[in-house]
Structure 1
Amino acid sequence: MTDAQIPATHPAALLAEVLDEIDAARAFVARDDAFDSAQALRVALRRLRSALTLFRPLLPPDHNKALLEDARWLSAEVTRLRDLYLLWQDTLTPARVALPDNAALQTLEARVLARIEQERAELRALLASERVADVLARGREMTVPGFWRPAAESPEKLEGLCHETLELRLSQALKHGETLKRLDSQARDSFRKSLRKLRATAEFTQSMFASKKTKAFLKQLKKLLESMVAARDASAVRDRLEDLMRDMEDGSAERHIAQELIKAKEAGVGLDHKRLQKLWRATVALPLY
């Protein structure tokens, strides 16, 4: 059991916290145009998806499956706006400072800002829609302990589920991280996503069953993920620019500058593979719980 032998927090309480985070983030998006608003909602929705996946055996299967699909759909809508903010603030703005008279860059920035305005208006309308209200209403059903299967009342079964899922997530991450030095950008994204899922499961486990071992594992895992932030951002910028390029003429100066920005962003990632491998070895050397 846990270090302090404290009974587990019921999953319903954890879901209530997650739903409150989503509500707060929705209000943030409605009143604020900053990158942080979309990012906060993205993180909250990611936590909801992680919770639904972790606690799937303890929930009505039809309810869980449908809600998970809707959470993925909404996450994709939010992430698109978040990544456009990232493209503008972290890539286009520095480039415009360096090349203030570049007409193609000015045209590209105008295109990105117009897309941000469009996506922001659409997301705000979406968040006020009946579909999203229905998603959140179904989510709120899980904040009632009686909605869950009886096994959710058992600390032993809950802890067993958390530990089993932790081991599964670690196994998946190990497969992705077998050849870190040779990972291309797509494989690196898969590795990072597997680490993120592992982290989310560990965080929920730590919330219910406080453990010094899990706390230490999470601390080390956070260091590893932070070392991959630049690679994650480069991937997001590439995806958004490639999407925008579909509306650009072949051979145009704007298309050329977009391609050059992708190359520059990915070249600037500068992953230290030796450090990454060192952090990964230090992470997997620690016990999960």
Structure 2
Amino acid sequence: MVAPREIELKLECEGSDLAELSRHPFLQAEGSEDSRFLTSTYFDTAAGDLRAAGLTLRVRRDGETFVQTVKAAATAPGLFDRSEWEAPVPGNAPDLAQVSETPVPEVLAGAEAPELSPTFATLVERRSRVVRYGASRIEVAFDEGRIETPNGDAPLWELELELKEGRSEDLFTLAQALAETVPLRLGALSKSARGFSLRDGTLRRPSKARPVSLAPDATAGEAFRVIAFACLSHLRLNEDVFLHNRDVEALHQLRVALRRLRSALTLFKPVLAQDATAATLRDEIKRITEPFGHARNLDVFLAETLTAEMARRPDEAGLDDLRRRLEAERDRAHDGVLATLESQEWRGLVLDVAAWLETGAWRTGPAAPDREVPDRGVPARDLPARDFAAQVLDKALRRIRKRGRHLDRQEAEERHRVRIEAKKLRYGAEFFASLYTEKKLRKHHKAFVSALSDLQDHLGSLNDQATAHTVLASLVAVPDPQEIPGETAFAAGLAAGDNEADGRKLLKAAAEAHGDLVAVKPFWR
């Protein structure tokens, strides 16, 4: 059975922005505007079996009619191209007879307690109109309302662009044009995901990267799209958290998402070789987010290095002033991160990345044969993802083996390059893990990632030492260094010295971890 599909783009904004958008010249309707009040109730088992299976089941009341809808999980943030099944029902309760052609019966059959009950509801005033843009007819919906859960409510403002006829490219070009007028952001969560997070108390909390699930028969191009959108989703979730509460862990996870995305762009270079936009986006991401690193370095120094130093030397008076000065600098650095995240340049870049992942030449244009396997003459984009993974992971491992020789005798910059390569390999191992499901390979994967993590940990500690010098050096980068009291400067020197005390031990441990990684069997062979 082929499920009906919907293709729509969800964008987040404020309530006042919706009013301004309704007057935008690009959003003037072909006909009359439709206005409705929609109440949607979402159902699941007590254990959340449907949600765990990537499904939502809702009953929506529209006037005197009720419609039951089953949706599969979205594959990308903001962009919803997913299976959807709808059927009229007599009232505000699920009718399981109407879901026989969906995955719901199979999920409920395997549930310990298959009974369905309401989990949360959305109350939305929707104004919708159909517009023409480019070569497409697009339904534009202005949604304003709230989510109601047992754990509290939350406001809801969304702009939805649903493709009725035409090309998905037009959804993005319209969104980008509108974003020049109001501060639109790519949707981080669907209404259902937002409702579940609010109910569970996880909304506005930092989140780690979720495991990537690749189809066993996925091509390299398909794998890249899934992986890159997973990175973008990780980014948007933590961006929202930091914007609302300056959470330090959210900033850390935002930077992890950015590194993962840039690593994906590097690992999949053979797939993207014919599309110059890939390098442009990678460079833009690095340029715009460069200041994020200073903020994160200050977070780590204050939370770890300086905290340990103050515990080690509780009577050192200068450490209190050192902490206050660095906290003030950290606040300024956070202000800079917020300024970037609130800028049109940043919001536009995120939309550009999403648009390129969905409609870029790397995906839609002609593909060149993969130079890595000339005898096959198969474009890299069309290679089986598992074959492609073996190629790129082999290359990454060879680079680490070569660059990590005599690690304990290398300069800091050389070790930093090994650390970057180790991160890329670690992300690659995580990206492709779902392609290696055999029991023996899962065991090899666990051992390989463990050895790689040990190397990363030791190199990370060495990098933290180097970063501590940078952080402390920033203290003297003031108009008049004499403004820094002598006892504060002395405390900074003590902190720097104590921080380096175990440097030789870390170098030896890093070299041993590199040897262990070289000896472990790669899981992809």
Fold-level similarity (TM above 0.5) = yes
Tell me: CA distance 1:274–1:238, structure 2 relative to 1, closer, same or farther (3 Å): closer
**Structure-2 separation of matches of 1:287 and 1:147:** 37
Moved more, 198-207 or 146-155: 146-155
Match of 1:6 in 2: 216
Amino acid at match of 2:246: D
Amino acid at match of 1:223: D
Match of 1:175 in 2: 402
Q: Is the 8 A contact 2:271 2:381 kept in 1?
A: no
Tell me, yes or no, if structure 1 residue 166 matches structure 2 residue 397.
no
User: Which of residues 234, 238, 245 in structure 2 aligns to 1:25?
Assistant: 238
Aligned counterparts, 1:84-123, within 5 A: 84-99=298-313, 102-123=316-337
User: Which of residues 258, 268, 280 in structure 1 aligns to 2:492?
Assistant: 258
**Structure-2 separation of matches of 1:103 and 1:277:** 38
User: Which of residues 6, 21, 45 in structure 1 aligns to 2:258?
Assistant: 45
Q: Report how many aligned residue pairs link the two structures.
A: 285
Tell me: CA distance 1:162–1:228, structure 2 relative to 1, closer, same or farther (3 Å): same
1:126, distance to aligned residue in structure 2 (A): 0.9
1:264, distance to aligned residue in structure 2 (A): 1.2
**Structure-1 separation of matches of 2:423 and 2:309:** 30
Flag structure 1 segments of 5+ consecutive residues without an equivalent. none
Moved more, 21-30 or 5-14: 5-14
Q: Is the 8 A contact 1:141 1:147 kept in 2?
A: no
Match of 1:154 in 2: 382
Task: Please give the root-mean-square deviation of Cα atoms over the aligned residues, in Å.
Answer: 2.9
Q: Is the 8 A contact 1:48 1:71 kept in 2?
A: no
**Structure-2 separation of matches of 1:205 and 1:181:** 31
Deviations 1:148-168 (A, max 9, x none): 345465243x44443332222
SS in 1 for 2:500: helix
Deviations 1:224-245 (A, max 9, x none): 2223332232222222222232
Deviations 1:32-78 (A, max 9, x none): 33431211111000001001111223235321111111221244222
Amino acid at match of 2:319: L
Match of 1:194 in 2: 421
1:257, distance to aligned residue in structure 2 (A): 2.6
Tell me, yes or no, if structure 1 residue 285 matches structure 2 residue 519.
yes
Match of 2:460 in 1: 229
Q: Is the 8 A contact 1:83 1:240 kept in 2?
A: yes
SS in 1 for 2:276: helix
Moved more, 130-139 or 69-78: 69-78
Deviations 1:123-147 (A, max 9, x none): 1121011111121112112442775
Match of 2:473 in 1: 242
Tell me: CA distance 1:280–1:96, structure 2 relative to 1, closer, same or farther (3 Å): closer
**Structure-1 separation of matches of 2:406 and 2:415:** 10
TM-score for the superposition, normalised by structure 2: 0.49
Tell me: CA distance 1:96–1:278, structure 2 relative to 1, closer, same or farther (3 Å): closer
**Structure-1 separation of matches of 2:497 and 2:356:** 45
Computing the radius of gyration from Cα coordinates, the structure with the larger value is 2
Structure (1/2) with the larger helix percentage: 1
Q: Is the 8 A contact 1:227 1:276 kept in 2?
A: yes
Deviations 1:198-235 (A, max 9, x none): 22223223345557144542232123222333223222
Amino acid at match of 1:128: E
Q: Is the 8 A contact 2:380 2:388 kept in 1?
A: no
SS in 2 for 1:90: helix
Q: Is the 8 A contact 1:12 1:145 kept in 2?
A: no
Q: Is the 8 A contact 2:291 2:336 kept in 1?
A: no
**Structure-2 separation of matches of 1:265 and 1:217:** 30
**Structure-2 separation of matches of 1:268 and 1:34:** 31
**Structure-2 separation of matches of 1:245 and 1:119:** 17
Q: Which protein has greater RCO, CA pairs closer than 8 Å, 6+ apart?
A: 1
**Structure-1 separation of matches of 2:320 and 2:426:** 40
Tell me, yes or no, if structure 1 residue 35 matches structure 2 residue 262.
no
Q: Is the 8 A contact 1:231 1:271 kept in 2?
A: no
User: Which of residues 268, 271, 275 in structure 2 aligns to 1:55?
Assistant: 268
**Structure-2 separation of matches of 1:189 and 1:144:** 34
Match of 1:218 in 2: 449
**Structure-2 separation of matches of 1:100 and 1:31:** 35
Deviations 1:165-208 (A, max 9, x none): 22222222122211123234333323222211222223223345
SS in 1 for 2:468: helix
